[in-house]
Amino acid sequence: MILTINCGSSSLKYQLYTSDLSGVVGKGIVSRIGEACPYIEHRAGGRKIRQDVEAADHRMALRVAMESLLHPEWGAIKDVSAIEAVGHRAVHGGDIFVESVLVTDDVIRQLEQCTPLAPLHNPLNLHGIHEARRLLPGIPQVVVFDTSFHQGMPAQAYVYALPYRYYAEHKIRRYGFHGTSCRFVSGRAAEVLERPLQELRMVICHLGNGVTIDAVAGGRSVDTSMGFGTFSGTMMGTRSGDFDPGLIFYLNRTLNMSLGDIEATCYKESGLLGVSGVSNDMREVVEHAIAGNHRCSLAIDMFVYMIKKYIGGYAAAMGGLDALVFTAGIGENSPYIRARICGGLGFLGIEVDDLANDAVDGACAIISPRTASAATMVVPTDEEKMIALDTVHLTAGCGDHSRRSAQRVEAAAG
């Protein structure tokens, strides 16, 4: 079986897949790690449990997760030897990692070098890797990076117009995030369209709490809305997205805000929450807008408008558009926001069939009429599955178990 581990800021998600990745035999999340009252929610064998646990850090959280997977009553496996390989998510691979890799001591050293680029996230990913290597010695481990899908972007898309030495000496550039999601979604979209990925120019709209708009041409990310960090691009749940950087100096000098205050404001108090004054959750913002709340209406108008501009810009960058793909919490679940974003984009070949749009039910769906020149689609993202797929492929040569697993995935995929 293949175990995936995803260490987030205060949570650890895990999933245990069958070797051919056709099913999940156990999964869960340890939440509130390092905070008061951490707990685990675990599912396996048709049972769901929730328990308070001790999880002062991510290493302890992984031990808790493993105990649940091995639990005699609600576990999914009897012995750790059932686990053939482990896949980890890492947020930042800098410009070192252009694809997923097998974990070695060298890889860990290089991942440590990327830590200044994601000081809040990479150390947690490293904790997960160290602990998994300790608990599962000799089991091959793979690390999958949120940034690596974007590493093939052309320089014109990733170098900032600052003095060049900042890029050359300090690696200050656009990196982009949500790459694991965008890679999975673009691949699935091509499968659903039954067209070769290499032929397609797509814009992926990953609309969750964080938002990434990604231009994917020929299966490669050629431009992406997030940048050096996870701030830029369109407005998000609590993040501002793009604004004039001159404002930072103004807030600092004229309103006497410290850099820390400005960072917290732009990161945690802006976006849908900041403009609406109601919530960072799109469902609530839409509800209040319908009830007549003017600021909620404005927040939605801004959210939609910023995304439209990225779609138009990326269609221009790619010289056309074959598919527009919606994914993540808002993209998958809100027909209203999808319709608003697509409205007025007929000149790009984007049209929406209202019945098809309203009927989306959690599966992949094409929501444009057959006559539209660009396909508009909904593709549920599955970052864990992408991590598991990379894990199987990279560990295929590592041992009998993993080699057999890779053969089973190939067979299941036909």
Closer by beta carbon to ligand ADP, 151 or else 279:
279
Set 95, 105, 106, 146: catalytic member: 146
* By the rule CB under 6 A, 283 interacts with ligand ADP: yes
* By the rule CB under 6 A, 209 interacts with ligand ADP: yes
* By the rule CB under 6 A, 328 interacts with ligand ADP: yes
Q: How far is the CB of 192 from ligand ADP (least distance, A)?
A: 20
- What does the H/E/C string look like for the chain? CEEEEEECCCCEEEEEECCCCCCEEEEEEEECCCCCCCEEEEEECCEEEEEECCCCCHHHHHHHHHHHHCCCCCCCCCCHHHCCEEEEEECCCCCCCCCCEECCHHHHHHHHHCHHHCCCCHHHHHHHHHHHHHHCCCCCEEEEECCHHHHHCCHHHHCCCCCHHHHHHHCCCCCCCCHHHHHHHHHHHHHHHCCCHHHCEEEEEEECCCEEEEEEECCEEEEECCCCCCCCCCCCCCCCCCCCCHHHHHHHHCCCCCHHHHHHHHHHCCHHHHHHCCCCCHHHHHHHHHCCCHHHHHHHHHHHHHHHHHHHHHHHHHCCCCEEEEEHHHHHHCHHHHHHHHCCCHHHCCCCCHHHHHCCCCCCEECCCCCCCCEEEECCCCHHHHHHHHHHHHCCCCCHHHHHHHHHHHHHCC
Residues in the annotated binding site: 6, 13, 89, 206-210, 281-283, 329-333, 383
Q: How far is the CB of 281 from ligand ADP (least distance, A)?
A: 4
* By the rule CB under 6 A, 140 interacts with ligand ADP: no
Closer by beta carbon to ligand ADP, 182 or else 396:
182
146 is catalytic: yes
For ligand ADP, the binding residue among 100, 333, 368, 395 (CB under 6 A) is 333
* By the rule CB under 6 A, 282 interacts with ligand ADP: yes
* By the rule CB under 6 A, 11 interacts with ligand ADP: no
* By the rule CB under 6 A, 329 interacts with ligand ADP: yes
Segment interacting with ligand ADP (CB under 6 A) among 52-60, 213-221, 329-337, 347-355: 329-337
- Segment 242-281, which members bind ligand ADP (CB under 6 A)? 281
Where on the chain is the footprint of ligand ADP (CB under 6 A)?
Answer: 208-210, 237, 281-283, 328-330, 333-334
Catalytic residues: 146
